[in-house]
Structure 1
């Protein structure tokens, strides 16, 4: 029996997440259900895409992913099911797939058509669950709906490069549990445009002239980490995206990069490449 994952903005207070699990178990008593998260910020498609893209590959091939964010059916927000990288996704066609599929094209996409038989104000429960259980039993996408060749593109997730190839303009797409701020500027874009040049990263008036690959690299050869607690740094995170962080941040005490630096979702982050050497980097506390 394939695993079925759930990613929603339902939260944990209401009955919605539990009801969806109950409906799956009613149809598939032996189902294996994994909650990726139910704490997506309401209707936040970019955040949803970031979390799904960085979690789905950890699951076995054939896993079925139900994504219930901004899922109300409309003329501009269809429901789709697709096979991508040997994983199944059941979700609204609201642009999130364009981030998940940025490097890999879907093998097959269908527009779900069982709405003709089901009227629902809770499509994740009444539609997505039925589609997921059908696939889990060995059903094919052809039965679920008509095949389509494209999906909605989400332009805002792509950073922009100026004509002179000297500035990358990106933005904040996600703020994690530590208050770290993740941008849409990838390590690949940075390297392709930068070509080894010096640079200045700017975020809300703060500047960085070095990008780390791990948080504790900021400590250098120091025998203790504590002298660097609260230092701000830029790094490429595990998703290879440019991140602004506070070393050993704690949202319950000191705060994170988001609160301390005043950075929020969609705020601008830029990288400017320069041709003359910059002064040697000194960590700032």
Structure 2
């Protein structure tokens, strides 16, 4: 039985998700459909890549992951089938694939530029046909043209940059989650490789921090009660080991979020400066 996940910017108010599922079930009646998210910010490939990166590895190998974000079908649009880390990914050629694989490019097994047919009136028509072909045992290469990484869109805009002297990481906020946390594109692996245990100064908007919490309530309770830290800003590596800015025990709907209170939202720059190696 095929497992197919769906990540879209369709929302949940309208009929678009039902249409997508209907097309898939019409082609593969016994497939198992799993919703990852349909609330990706409109056309936001950075949001989509973060959410899918966090979810896909929990599924069995050979799961098909459909990412229908900024994926309008027209005469100049291109769509990809990527085999990565033992999974299949279907997405528009809009940078999502490069963001998904940016820290594990070695795990990309193959990328196929799919062939659009006249009967495909939407990306979901194309994706449903591709899913049916994979479910039937078709080789990825038979579904289009095998291409290299230089032949599909690479998005470098939302990748961290390291200064020439190796002391600074220039990065961005790439996602705001349900709790109002602002997630950056700095992984724990990158932070440790660049920092090498050195003291650091984090700057985002006008706010500065010099410590990463081990867990949310990792505060000094010898001098202050834990309740007194409600609303305090903190840095922490989240469950995906990405550095995020958080506010302790706040509710975005009432007391505010990192975006509303600290002014850090999607695409905003952050800087992490490590103590110079010569100091």
Is TM more than 0.5 here? Answer: yes
Secondary structure, aligned partner of 2:164: coil
In structure 1, the residue matched to 2:14 is 14
Secondary structure, aligned partner of 2:21: helix
Residues 1:131 and 1:195: Cα distance change in structure 2 (over 3 Å)? same
Kept in 1, the 8 Å contact 2:167–2:195? The answer is: yes
Q: How does 1:57-76 map to 2 (within 5 A)?
A: 57-73=57-73
Secondary structure, aligned partner of 1:155: coil
In structure 2, the residue matched to 1:270 is 271
Secondary structure, aligned partner of 1:156: coil
Return the offset for 1:224.
Answer: 6.2
What 5-or-longer segments of structure 2 have no aligned partner? none
Q: For residues 237-277 of structure 1, what are the alpha-carbon distances to aligned partners after superposition, in whole Å with 9 as ceiling and x for unaligned?
A: 1222211000122112111212111111111111111259x
In structure 2, the residue matched to 1:160 is 161
Separation in structure 1 between the aligned mates of residue 75 and residue 173 of structure 2, nearest angstrom = 29
Separation in structure 2 between the aligned mates of residue 237 and residue 229 of structure 1, nearest angstrom = 19
Separation in structure 2 between the aligned mates of residue 222 and residue 21 of structure 1, nearest angstrom = 55
Q: How does 1:121-200 map to 2 (within 5 A)?
A: 122-124=122-124, 126-150=125-149, 151-200=152-201
Separation in structure 2 between the aligned mates of residue 11 and residue 28 of structure 1, nearest angstrom = 24
Cα-Cα RMSD: 2.0
Q: For residues 189-247 of structure 1, what are the alpha-carbon distances to aligned partners after superposition, in whole Å with 9 as ceiling and x for unaligned?
A: 22222222211101111111101232122355799642221111011112222110001
In structure 2, the residue matched to 1:43 is 43
Q: Is 1:109 the equivalent of 2:114?
A: no
Kept in 2, the 8 Å contact 1:198–1:275? The answer is: no
Return the offset for 1:171.
Answer: 0.9
Separation in structure 2 between the aligned mates of residue 198 and residue 76 of structure 1, nearest angstrom = 49
Q: How does 1:226-237 map to 2 (within 5 A)?
A: 226-237=227-238
Q: Is 1:202 the equivalent of 2:203?
A: yes
Kept in 1, the 8 Å contact 2:180–2:252? The answer is: yes
Kept in 2, the 8 Å contact 1:77–1:94? The answer is: no
Kept in 2, the 8 Å contact 1:53–1:99? The answer is: no
- Figure out how many residues of one structure are paired with residues of the other and give that number: 273
Residues 1:209 and 1:127: Cα distance change in structure 2 (over 3 Å)? same
Residues 1:222 and 1:248: Cα distance change in structure 2 (over 3 Å)? farther
Q: For residues 53-111 of structure 1, what are the alpha-carbon distances to aligned partners after superposition, in whole Å with 9 as ceiling and x for unaligned?
A: 11100111110111101112457641111211111111111111112112143212111
Q: How does 1:248-263 map to 2 (within 5 A)?
A: 248-263=249-264
Residues 1:110 and 1:228: Cα distance change in structure 2 (over 3 Å)? same
Separation in structure 1 between the aligned mates of residue 52 and residue 241 of structure 2, nearest angstrom = 15
Separation in structure 2 between the aligned mates of residue 190 and residue 60 of structure 1, nearest angstrom = 29
Separation in structure 2 between the aligned mates of residue 31 and residue 234 of structure 1, nearest angstrom = 41
In structure 2, the residue matched to 1:5 is 5
